[in-house]
Amino acid sequence: MKPTIAGVVLAGGQSRRFGRPKAFAEHRGAPFFTWSIAALRPLVDELYIISHPALVDEFRRQTDIPVLLDVERYRGCGPLAGIYTAMEHSRADWMFVLPCDMPYMRQEVVERLASYIDPTFDAIVPLHGGRPEPLVALYHRRLSSMIAELLDAGERRMAALLDRVRVRCLDTKQLSADEEVWRNVNTQDEYGKR
């Protein structure tokens, strides 16, 4: 049976370095977050946006995709909390996570990454320049309790999760010859160079 996939757009950060909410910055006339949705939508069975509390109303004005806040117990605890929240709301086998600040990501890269799903692994993670891209990755729902344990212990680093699970790593060159798809925008300077 084909595994089910939930698409999860992470938009819970405070965009401190950017100076305003990155999710709503524009690329080619559309907000950043819509590019992540466009890359995920054809592949996934359901979609969620994990939002910072201050952005919920604006997301709901701009999209009909369910907008979730981190579960209260882990609110403000970073991407691990966002992934856990999606797992609590979805019954899908896998969560395909994308950040809201990668407007160059494309559908074919997402599809290629998902084609490597293998139930003997807990996570499917690209390596860019030899380093994991844990926020452009797939996580099996069985990791929910492990993520909760990490968060309960005060651990917020994605690396802490990856160190404890079976990870299938893929060089980004296997997924796309175009380096630009891996660019994220963190500062106004980077935004100006896009």
Binding residues, by number, are 10-12, 22, 70, 101
* Contact (Cβ atoms closer than 8 angstroms) between residue 76 and residue 13: no
Q: What angle do CA 127, 128, 134 make, to 5 degrees?
A: 55
Cα(17)–Cα(62) distance, rounded to whole angstroms? 24
Cα(166)–Cα(164) distance, rounded to whole angstroms? 7
* Contact (Cβ atoms closer than 8 angstroms) between residue 47 and residue 7: yes
Q: Which residues are annotated as a binding site for GTP?
A: 10-12, 22, 70, 101
Name the residue type at position 191.
Y
The count of residues in the chain is: 194
Q: Which residues are annotated as a binding site for Mg(2+)?
A: 101
Cα Rg of the chain, angstroms:
15
* Contact (Cβ atoms closer than 8 angstroms) between residue 193 and residue 183: no
Could you tell me which residues are beta bridge partners of residue 166?
A: none
